[in-house]
A and B are shown apart, each in its own frame.
Chain A
Amino acid sequence: MSTRSLRVTVALVLDTFREAFARKIFWAFFGCSTALILFFIFIMKIDVVQGAIATISLFGNTSRGQDVQKLVRQVHGAIAAFLFTAGMFLAVFASAGLIPAVFEPGRIELLLSKPVERYHILIGRYIGNVLVIAANIFYLVFAVWTVFGIKTGVWTPGFLWSSVLIVFIFAVLLTVVVLMGVLWESAVVATMVAFGIMIMSPILAQQTILERLLTSEWSRNVMRVMYYALPKVFDVGRIARSLVLGDPMGGWMPIWSSALFGVVILSAGLYIFSRRNY
């Protein structure tokens, strides 16, 4: 990447951050994350004796005698599960407007009048949007991981890896927002389609059970195609949980097929954007 090209990318990323700051998206996430981190720092008190928790105190209630490793992994798992479900919905909902905002009349003409390729504008904005969410997720996960590490002496890396997977799935879902944004220039439509995919994911993940329930081969094929074609939010969440709990990960298919989906959808978005008249 040339210096000029890098300068343009940095400008687009910074502009996305500025817009996220102005829309309070960044600060809302940051505030929630900080509240959770402070909760773990000040409210939860843990005494560890010889690898086991002697006491754990939460809002004055004390329990005893738990395996410290197990407890830490469970808390990590709960946070990862929250980020994969509610957190993901919030992230898509909050940032869906950042992409279609670029296509507003009076704004897009000025961007296109600059000596920058169209794909560069969209990719710069996409990267900026991913980084806004990634900054918050990494902040929360890393801080919680550090707090628990200091309090319990347990430093399992699985939780950190799960944050990478959370950002990855967000990046995949954001490609849908990009495509819908380019096609319809509407944050509402983009959010609805991304939510639809997220809701479909746990249903399609039960494909072996569903296949037994479906009567025709045609409907079974439709379901298989949908399962393999759409991003596997639920399955990647399961992989993240396995990483956190230290269980075997299973296959890589949910990750690479979701990545492939993201690449195809983003390419389609870039292609349509390059052909559109503004």
Chain B
Amino acid sequence: MSFAIETEGLVKIFRSRWSGKEVRAVDGITLSVEQGTTFGLLGPNGAGKTTFVKLLLSCAHATQGRATIFGRDAREAEARRPIGYLPENHRFPTYLTGRSMLDFYAALSGMDGAARRTRIPELLATVGLADWGNVRLGKYSKGMLQRVGLAQALMHSPTLLILDEPTDGVDPIGRRQIRDILHALEQQGVTIFVNSHLLGEVELFCRDVAIIHRGKVALEGKVKDLTAGAGYRLAVDYVPERLEQELRARATAVAQRNGSLEFLFGSREEANQAVDLLRAQYCEIEALTRTTSTLEDVFVRTVEDRQ
């Protein structure tokens, strides 16, 4: 298996210049991101997500450990050639127009003039800013800046996209548009690494996730595995009182919803036993579904366990 990103025991300690106080922002992160996947990096504020991304991009220097991008030492300038990056809280120079900004950053990425001239209108159209290319960035809204920022990251057709809060400040339609663009890139085999606190977005979009807490990887895996297999939900219209009490004792949770009684069972066996008891008394079963945790549940559980 080949990896787009690999880190091994990555540590970043920040030392205060005056007091000498140390902060371990990243504390021994070992992580592998498969090529072609969509990867979400999650964590509470101050967990070390942005520092981790900065280490990948050599904006910050690791105190210990190593990071590679497509097998190349992340500290080398050439390792950054396949990367398209959209930082959080970016400040694009406001004296540039959308077009000149794309041109400038693409030139830094090594694209020649002819390729830039072809690609700029294409990408402006893709992100829905075709009519805004000659307008100064100072006049753009936050959502538009985010979209032109994404275009900037895509200019040189990167094979690894690192996005820090890509939908921050973008309205729902813009968010959908960004998701569609990213899905199209995923189809083309581009590895997408998203650093976000919007768990719903990550759950919708990412295949793999890692949750970082206090600079360490607290949990890592496939989204479908992490959110699956929590139990079974049984919805019944009417249950005789005695049987209800019995089922309440067996269930992990009970709720009254839309006129139905919902029992939550921890295992398939318990759910089947409940079905047998209900059917023996001719009770009408409304629904039986397998329940999953949301990524938010997983995230909260993971962070709380580590507190």
Contact = CB atoms under 8 A, between A and B. Distances in A.
A7 interface: yes
Most A-side CB within 10 Å, residue of B60, B96, B107, B108? B108
Contacts of B302: none
Contacts of A22: 94-95
Given A19-B95, A107-B93, A8 B108 contact: yes
A22 B101 CA distance: 14
Interface in B73-104: 77-81, 83, 85, 87, 89-96, 100, 104
B57 A109 contact: yes
A35 interface: no
A112 B59 contact: yes
B132 interface: no
A277 interface: yes
A277 B14 CA distance: 9
A196 interface: no
B91 A104 contact: yes
A114 B109 contact: yes
Nearest to A102: B93
Give the contact-size bracket for chain B.
20 to 34
B85 A113 contact: yes
Contact of B96 (A18, A108, A110): A18
B90 A110 contact: yes
Contact of A113 (B80, B95, B107): B80
A42 interface: no
Contacts of B94: 22
> What is the interface of chain B mostly: helix, strand, loop, or mixed?
loop
Given A21-B95, A113-B59, 6 more contacts: A8-B107, A18-B95, A22-B95, A105-B89, A107-B90, A277-B61
Contacts of A113: 57, 59, 80, 83, 85, 87, 162
Contacts of B105: 110, 114
Interface string A103-136: 0111111111111110000000000000000000
B276 interface: no
Given A22-B95, A106-B87, A106-B90, A112 B58 contact: yes
Interface in B172-211: none
Interface string A8-25: 101110110011011100
Give the contact-size bracket for chain A.
20 to 34
Interface in A139-170: none
B88 to A, nearest CB: 8
Given A115-B78, A115-B80, A109 B87 contact: yes
Interface of B: 14, 54, 57-61, 77-81, 83, 85, 87, 89-96, 100, 104-105, 107-110, 112, 152, 162
B58 A116 contact: no
Interface of A: 4, 7-8, 10-12, 14-15, 18-19, 21-23, 101, 104-117, 275, 277-278
A117 B59 contact: no
B230 to A, nearest CB: 39
Contact of B59 (A104, A109, A115): A109
Contacts of B110: 4, 7-8, 115
A276 to B, nearest CB: 8
Nearest to B96: A18
B107 A7 contact: yes
Contacts of B89: 105-106
A104 B94 CA distance: 13
Given A18-B96, A116-B77, A7 B112 contact: yes
A107 B59 CA distance: 11
A108 B107 contact: no
Nearest to A15: B104
Contacts of A12: 108
26 contacts: A8-B110, A10-B107, A11-B104, A18-B96, A22-B95, A105-B89, A106-B87, A106-B89, A109-B57, A109-B87, A109-B90, A110-B87, A110-B152, A111-B108, A113-B59, A113-B80, A114-B108, A115-B77, A115-B80, A115-B81, A115-B108, A115-B110, A117-B77, A277-B14, A277-B61, A278-B54
Contacts of A23: 95
A21 B91 CA distance: 19
Contacts of A114: 80, 105, 108-109
A68 B108 CA distance: 52
